[in-house]
Structure 1
Amino acid sequence: MKRYHSIKTYMAAALLLAASVSCEDELDLYPISQEVADNAYSTGTQIEAALTGVYESFQSSQYYAWDFVMAEDIRSDNYYAGGDNPEIFAYDRVDLSPTNSRVNALWASVYNAISKANLVLEKTPEVTENITEERKDQILGEAYFLRAYHYFVLVKNFGDVPLYINFVSSADPADTRLPRSSKEEVYAQIVSDLNNALTRLPDTYGSDASVNKARATKGAANALLAKVYAQMPTPDYTAVLAHANAVINSPAGYSLLSNYDELFDGNHYNNAESIIEIQYLGGNEGNWGPQMHLPPSVSGDNWRKFTTPSHDLVDAFDSEGDNIRKNATILFENVSWVDEYWGNATNSSVPFAYKWRNAGSWASSDDIYLLRLADIILMKAEAQNELGQTADAATTVNLVRNRAGLANLNSDATASQSAMRMAILKERRLELAQEGHRWSDLVRFGMAQEVMNSVDDIDLSTGQSVNYAVDEHDLLMPIPQAEINRNPNLEQNPGY
């Protein structure tokens, strides 16, 4: 299948500019001469390469390649850490510290992507050679969407964060060492960026799905707006419903696949349900994440894997009789190592995360969904319920349940707004496990502390219950200490 993929070769000046925020140091920027910047981005080819560099951040970032599963699924009740990495154990136990290098990598790599988007937003209006005004407008729309997506990741994880909305080409601390903006200000910027994107983006770029699912579209902007309006400190569920409906009724023709398993079998990427996904070709454009969690029979190796499905997640599938989604999400296999949650002895049967299924020797061609329709349908149901339309919400949820071979919600689930709220939260869990949504869902529903402190996990190596002891400060990650050391204007989140 033809696939839209990243341009890997940049001219030297383009690389210098786009990478002005290093992976290790988000705030200590190097001065870039205006002359170099002006010369580097004067043609359509050059600005297209710069835009490709923004998309490439999804592939090159450790966060988007795998750590988003740690932040959303391992940190929640969905998965245990597995493996042998103390910093990942800290995610599992909801016990993050400001010196955790994975937290620092999240901050640095996402700000790196924002810097690249800012460069495109600044330079595109100045380009006059070999480009149409229509394409320039589309490029701006794509860059606005991408910047908004990255800031959404930051504000969900850290709360207040510095807002860099201009490309930094100076070493002046006044430009490089901004204080944190309030989360309300960050969300306002995200909404502004996405509205700017909506006015510029097409529904599709033509008939090639591998292009339409690789690039920002109106559908992607509306989908992200639906999620943003729900997640912000004061949700606007009227806006959530409007933007979810815009996706569902889009001329792009999004629709649920009839077979849930085909979303993840590796043969049906860029499908009708996908809104936007990270494109991997394998080889030097491969996805290393699947090798981290697939069982020996699939991965071809025999070391202890990460992202182990929890008893609580398995029980949630079983309590619903949800075999279709369970079997597409989890694969059980006997292993040669000892797992302290599943058997605590060699040759025990252990569950494995299974939504990426092709290891590819650290170079998989498995894509990652950034946004897909089932998520947005369930966002619509959430909005309907919060707006008092509980019966309509049940009808919407049943679209997703029926695709999974499940009957309509029973009368207990639809008896009240609060009961429906819990049914929607559970439905999102079963539908979207391992796709990087669970922690944000728990926080949005105001359930993170209650759920995590009610989990009944037993560490079989000690026979003791695990006490997650989640309190309000755990809802956000700490600001990386390395960034605070570099930028005296940054303040730490409370409790760290």
Structure 2
Amino acid sequence: MKRNYRSLLLIALAPVVLLTSCVKDLLDRQPTTELGESAFWQNLDDAEYALMGLYSSVRPLFDRDYYLDGHGEYVRARGTSATSGNLRLGDAYHGANYNPTGYAGSFDKMYRYLYGGVNRANYVIENAEKMAASNPNLAADLDAIIGEAKLLRGMVYFRLISMWGDVPYIGRIVNGNAEVANIERMPIAQVKDSILADFTDAFERLPDSPPAMGRAAKPAALAFRGKLNLYWACWNKNGWPELDTFTPHASEATEAFTAAAEDFRSVIQDYGLMLFRGGEPGDIDTLGRAEILPNYYYLFTPVANGDPEIIMGFTHGGIGTNQGEELMRDVAGRSHEGSQCWVSPRYEIADRYQSIITGDFVDPLIPMNPSNPDARTTPGSAVNPQSYENRDYRMKASIMWDYEMSVGMVNRQSTGWVPFIYQTWAQPITIGGETYISYNTDGTNSGYVFRKFLRNEAGLGRSEGDYHFPVMRLADVYLMYAEATNELSGPTADAIDLVNKIRHRGNLPPLNGEKTASKEAFFDAIEQERIVELLGEGHRGFDLRRWRAIERVWGEPYGPGVWRRDTHGANQQRYYQNTPEREYERNYIFRIPESERDRNPNLTQNTPWL
């Protein structure tokens, strides 16, 4: 840890650090790194300035979580885009493994940068507390700053324990390498208690509503506390045998499910929050057109910036700020500002979108190669656009199939509509008497690309997005509440109603009685909504691990594995073929970086990685 903490510590202790776009007036200031710490922390402006630096350092640890969906079965993340300027400090996501297996030994960077976030949070908390003690007249304003910093620290530690289990806990500023050179891992139960304390303290200090877009308020602290309790309940219910210091207890699971439900209920009922555009599905264009898209699509564009559904998110700056998000670069292709399509939907996600007529699943799509003259007209064919008619509105809002359109862009200017046609890249295509140049992307091998996160208008480059990326949405809270109460009491009327509200945004009918007849059936309905509602937001891999569901999805050890294929019927990748039990164990818990253990003899390793 010595070298890693030292390099990050120097940045974390700088009195003025990188700015975030949370507060506009702060963006207009000229930063300096020459100001000594004794001359800093003199007034509320200094404290807010440091808090903005903390947001800026934590944002790159969460704002590209769509890569993490590659650990599930519905998203392919074939890599990561290059580092974007100094803001990303090397980019915690870069170079990791986002395949559905073999990934947990590839997140050394994330581990290191998460601890950089911890130390920056400690820097803000400790100095703000000192300032409050010496300036009682500023105590009320500093309270909220301390609350935000504790929420961010809790989020960072929550990620650490979700991936690595037991981790070193540092609750103060680190002033030198000697202070962390021999630090030991703290048992997960103790770290969890410290995180809960941070979330609780944050809740007590924060206002009911955010002071500005990108800033946290009470609902965020409650939602994250509830989520931590939900994960703790799952680990105690389902076990975590790969973490040999952890012993699950059924009573702790019940207690944690109860606490989680209470927090989620408060978020839902006490703060006047609503789903984006009232949860209404909105209008939808005809197949192959995209002038009118469902409301769900716009939730993932700057149109939704500041919307209450985004309970906690990270803001981005746009043109010329070096603080833009790179969503388009990562999900789009060459026709869209030279984007690289690092992330795309897998073929299998299409079958998860249900019928708006029956409210249930449609017969599985049939892969067919367009070289077959009947492929484009055969009912149910994956390359027949009519096969996608009357589906959950979130389908058209989330993915594109053959002959679906989006706006091409070059140099921030529109090039007009480009139709996506799998394996027909940048070719002249005549549709309805009009000639188009087809979508140029060679990054997908499934037959689909994302529409979710893709801007449908020009004006910003591929790395200049200004979307407020969500890390906690109200829809997720609805589904987590339903999950927690289902574990305690089975399907309840209020939980069923919340799941139906999520379904309504896809213009789906309410769940039928069969889907709510038992705890098991309702869990399946909740999981279904988590898959389609949260697609590409980084949740699926964490869900599979906390539910102990990797074997359910991919088969048991030493099995035949599962092929991922495309709309043309070609096999693309095979996962978990003849995979030994040890590999499954390693997929449930991440490897403590060996470089850290080389520097610190007191850092133990997780058992599957010994």
Segments ≥4 residues shifted beyond 6 Å = 459-464
Measured after TM superposition, the shift of residue 412 of structure 1 is: 2.6
Moved more, 253-262 or 195-204: 253-262
Equivalent residue number for residue 466 of structure 1: 575
| Secondary structure of the structure 2 residue equivalent to 1:276 | strand
What's the C-alpha RMSD, in Å, of the aligned pairs?
2.9
Q: Closer, same or farther in 2 for the Cα pair 1:302/1:120, shift >3 Å? A: closer
Is residue 183 from structure 1 mapped to residue 188 from structure 2 by the alignment? Answer: yes
Would the aligned equivalents of 1:339 and 1:350 in 2 still touch at CA under 8 Å? no
Q: How does 1:238-253 map to 2 (within 5 A)?
A: 238-253=258-273
Aligned residues of 1:254 and 1:274 also touching (Cα < 8 A):
no
Aligned partners of 2:80 and 2:330 also within 8 Å: no
Structure 1 residues 420 and 80: CA distance shift in structure 2, 3 A: same
Q: Which of the numbers 383, 390, 396 marks the counterpart of 2:491?
A: 390
2: CA distance between counterparts of 1:226 and 1:97?
Answer: 26
Q: Alignment partner for residue 78 of structure 2, among 82, 87, 95?
A: 82
The unaligned stretches of length 5 or more in structure 2 are 1-20, 82-93, 237-252, 281-294, 355-360, 363-389, 402-419, 426-440, 556-560
Q: CA deviation at 1:458?
A: 4.1
SS at match of 1:436: coil
Residue in structure 2 matching 1:325, options 372, 394, 401: 394
Q: TM-score scaled by structure 2?
A: 0.68
1: distance between equivalents of 2:550 and 2:562? 11
Equivalence for 1:22 = none
Q: 1:237 touches 1:387 (CA, 8 Å); kept in 2?
A: yes
Equivalent position amino acid for 1:313 in 2: I
Task: Give the equivalent residue in structure 1 for 2:479.
Answer: 378
Shift of the 42–301 alpha-carbon distance from structure 1 to 2, 3 Å rule, reads: same
- Tell whether the 8 Å contact from 2:181 to 2:599 is kept in structure 1 after alignment: no
**TM-score, normalising length: structure 1:** 0.83
* Deviations, residues 371-418 of structure 1 (Å, cap 9, x unaligned): 111000111111121111413232221121122211111233212111
- Decide which moves more: 157-166 or 476-485: 476-485
User: Contact between 1:13 and 1:40, CA under 8 Å: does it hold in 2?
Assistant: no
Aligned residue identity for 1:350: Y
Aligned to 1:286: 324
Distance 1:142 1:252, change over 3 A: farther
Q: 1:356 and 1:192, CA in 2 relative to 1: closer, same or farther beyond 3 A?
A: farther
Sort the Cα spacing of 1:356 and 1:149 in 2 relative to 1 into closer, same or farther, 3 A. farther
What residue is the counterpart of 1:19 in the other structure? none
Structure 1 pair 83–90 and aligned structure 2 pair: CA distance change class (3 A): closer
What count of residue pairs does the alignment treat as equivalent? 453
Equivalent residue number for residue 352 of structure 1: 450
User: 3-state SS of the aligned residue for 2:590?
Assistant: coil
Asked if the contact 1:4/1:279 (under 8 Å) is kept, the reply is no
Aligned to 1:202: 207
Structure 2 residue identity aligned to 1:426? Q
In structure 2, the CA distance between the partners of 1:266 and 1:256, relative to structure 1 (3 Å rule), is closer
Instruction: Report the Cα offset of residue 186 of structure 1.
Output: 1.6
Aligned partner of 2:220 in structure 1 is: 220
Q: CA deviation at 1:457?
A: 1.8
Alignment of 1:447-458 (within 5 A): 447-453=549-555, 455-458=562-565
Q: Which letter maps to 1:111?
A: Y
Which residue in the other structure is 1:53 paired with? 53
**8 Å Cα contact 1:121-1:140 kept in structure 2:** yes
Deviation at residue 225 of structure 1 after TM alignment: 1.1
Greater Rg by CA? 2
Separation in 1 of the partners of 2:199 and 2:444?
Answer: 45
Q: Distance in 1 between matches of 2:451 and 2:184?
A: 39
Q: Which has the higher helix share?
A: 1
The answer to whether the aligner puts 1:306 opposite 2:327 as a matched pair is no
Counterpart CA distance in 2 for 1:375 and 1:152 is: 17
How do 1:48-447 residues align onto structure 2 when only pairs under 5 Å count?
48-59=48-59, 61=60, 63-66=61-64, 68-71=65-68, 73-82=69-78, 90-96=97-103, 98=105, 100=106, 103-127=107-131, 128=134, 132-173=138-179, 175-205=180-210, 211=212, 213-232=213-232, 233-234=235-236, 235=253, 236-257=256-277, 258=280, 259-283=295-319, 284=321, 285-297=323-335, 299-301=336-338, 303=340, 305-318=341-354, 319=361, 322-332=391-401, 333-334=420-421, 335=423, 336=425, 341-342=445-446, 349-352=447-450, 354-357=452-455, 360-392=461-493, 393-447=495-549
User: Does the 8 Å contact 1:44/1:131 carry over to 2?
Assistant: no
Following the alignment from structure 1 to structure 2, what is the Cα–Cα distance between the partners of residues 455 and 9? 54
1:9-28 equivalent positions in 2, closer than 5 A: 9-12=30-33
How far, CA to CA, are the matches of 2:125 and 2:39 in structure 1? 16
Report the identity percentage: 27
Structure 1 regions of 5+ residues with no counterpart? 15-35, 343-348
- Would you say the 8 A contact 1:294–1:354 is kept in 2? no
Letter in 1 for 2:349: L
Please give the secondary structure, in 2, of the residue aligned with 1:95.
coil
| Whole-angstrom CA distance in 2 between matches of 1:88 and 1:249 | 42
Tell me the SS of whatever aligns to 1:92. coil
